[in-house]
């Protein structure tokens, strides 16, 4: 093991004079910058205390996170009722973990689990029943709102993206043309425009006595925008499936839907899984655009909180904290996608050996 590590270092870091010099320069730069960051973020930092202690410190003031974490994480939600969105996040994480577990992929209880979870989370967030005080969706904010927007985007957008990708490759001219118009139309405008239409323009086309929740319109708008980009990724995967797969299905006299759902689509999704994951991570970050229409996601709530004159100068620490949340979500999604790829490759290898 030791010899293999030495061989790796020699081959990748010290294989030539130029590479050795570059490695040493990068090492010096990392040590210099790293030492500065350690002094600022750990050694000379304040982790608890008031504004006076932070001003006297030479490093970071992490005490601002302890002072402002509740408005950062929960936005405008009533202070005394913030246990409700906190409980919703716990339910959401449990549902996601169970959904991502291979043991639950083919379970008949997965969809009922999500149905019950969504109902419970809606009741907790909205209130008005079971003695819970009502809270309008306009007061929802922070991390629970970000998770809600992200979940709605993926849950609604992924099936729509698959349908659009199949429609764009359909032999029916009308269906193919409709899919092309929809994809190119929504993909050619900024997300801000779609949010503006969902909030201000779409209600003008509804009957006067009909009203659709603003938050629901926003989720659908972001989901359709996400679906148009994802559809092109999935279409690329469909085009990468060898023609022999279609011919083999035709020889077996399989129907179009059986061929698509059981043979073609699983292979296409495996091929384009890295790009699909990339767009899902981007969907997580796109939730911050809701600031345009007055909703306080976790990033917008942070910006609002930092208007406090006493703590305003410590905005770097708060944005580092929020960045860590986004990085953690993105890292976990990417690692899960890599794990799924390895699992698929291992199963294909086992099938080939059999």
**pLDDT per position as a tens digit, 68-95:** 888 888 888 888 899 999 999 999 999 8
Kindly indicate the confidence band of residue 350, based on its pLDDT and cuts at 50, 70 and 90: low
Instruction: Using the predicted structure, report yes or no on whether residue 261 has a pLDDT greater than 90.
Output: no
Distance, CA of 94 to CA of 116 (rounded, Å): 12
Contact call for residues 294 and 218 (beta carbons, < 8 A): no
Give the pLDDT score at 84. Answer: 93
Backbone φ and ψ for 57, nearest 5 degrees, come out as -80, 155
Average pLDDT score over residue span 276-287: 89
Give the pLDDT score at 354. Answer: 55
Dihedral of CA 200/206/211/215: which sign?
negative
DSSP string of 35-55, one letter each residue: HHHHIIIIIT-BSS--HHHHH
Least confident of 122-131, 206-215, 231-240, 254-263: 206-215
Distance, CA of 284 to CA of 26 (rounded, Å): 32
Dihedral of CA 15/18/21/24: which sign?
negative
Question: Which one, of 37, 12, 32, lies nearest residue 23 by Cα?
Answer: 12
Neighbours of 238 (CB within 10 A): 20
Q: What percent of the chain has pLDDT over 90?
A: 18
- The H or E element that residue 141 is part of is strand 141-141
Distance, CA of 92 to CA of 280 (rounded, Å): 17
User: Residue 68 is encoded by which pair of tokens?
Assistant: 């402002």
Q: Return the SS3 of 321.
A: helix
Question: Which one, of 293, 276, 287, lies nearest residue 341 by Cα?
Answer: 276
Kindly indicate the confidence band of residue 130, based on its pLDDT and cuts at 50, 70 and 90: confident
User: Residue 284 is encoded by which pair of tokens?
Assistant: 């997580």
Question: Which one, of 100, 214, 222, lies nearest residue 158 by Cα?
Answer: 222
Kindly indicate the confidence band of residue 211, based on its pLDDT and cuts at 50, 70 and 90: confident
User: Residue 319 is encoded by which pair of tokens?
Assistant: 């944005």
Instruction: Using the predicted structure, report yes or no on whether residue 316 has a pLDDT greater than 80.
Output: yes
Instruction: Using the predicted structure, report yes or no on whether residue 145 has a pLDDT greater than 90.
Output: no
Average pLDDT score over residue span 231-250: 87
What is the tens place of the pLDDT at every residue in 170-209? 888 898 999 999 999 888 888 888 888 888 888 887 777 7
pLDDT mean across residues, the chain: 86
């Amino acid at each position: 093991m030791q010899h293999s590590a030495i061989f790796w270092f020699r081959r990748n870091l010290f294989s030539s004079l130029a590479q050795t010099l570059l490695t040493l320069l990068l090492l010096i730069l990392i040590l210099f910058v790293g030492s500065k960051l350690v002094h600022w973020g750990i050694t000379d930092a304040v982790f608890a205390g008031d504004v006076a202690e932070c001003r006297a410190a030479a490093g970071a003031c992490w005490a601002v996170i302890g002072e402002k974490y509740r408005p950062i994480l929960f936005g405008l939600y009533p202070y005394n009722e913030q246990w409700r969105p906190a409980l919703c996040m716990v339910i959401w994480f449990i549902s996601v973990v169970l959904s991502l577990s291979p043991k639950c992929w083919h379970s008949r209880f997965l969809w009922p689990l999500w149905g019950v979870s969504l109902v419970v989370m809606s009741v907790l967030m909205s209130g008005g029943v079971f003695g819970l005080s009502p809270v309008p969706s306009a007061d929802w904010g922070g991390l629970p709102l970000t998770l809600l927007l992200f979940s709605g985007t993926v849950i609604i957008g992924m099936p729509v993206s698959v349908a659009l990708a199949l429609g764009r490759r359909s032999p029916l001219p009308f269906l193919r043309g409709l899919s092309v118009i929809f994809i190119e139309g929504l993909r050619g405008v900024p997300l801000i425009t779609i949010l503006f239409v969902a909030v201000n323009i779409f209600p003008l086309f509804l009957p006067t006595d009909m009203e659709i929740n603003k938050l629901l319109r926003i989720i659908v708008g972001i989901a359709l925008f996400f679906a148009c980009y994802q559809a092109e990724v999935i279409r690329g995967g469909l085009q990468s499936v060898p023609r022999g797969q279609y011919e083999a299905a035709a020889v077996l006299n399989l129907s179009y839907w059986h061929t698509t759902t059981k043979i073609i689509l699983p292979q296409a999704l495996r091929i384009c899984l890295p790009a699909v994951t990339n767009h899902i991570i981007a969907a997580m970050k796109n939730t911050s655009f809701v600031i345009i229409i007055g909703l306080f996601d976790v990033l917008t709530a942070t910006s609002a909180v930092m208007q406090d004159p006493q703590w305003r100068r410590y905005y770097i620490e708060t944005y580092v904290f929020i960045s860590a949340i986004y990085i953690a979500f993105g890292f976990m999604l990417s690692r899960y996608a890599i794990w799924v790829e390895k699992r698929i490759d291992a199963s294909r290898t086992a099938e080939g050996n059999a």
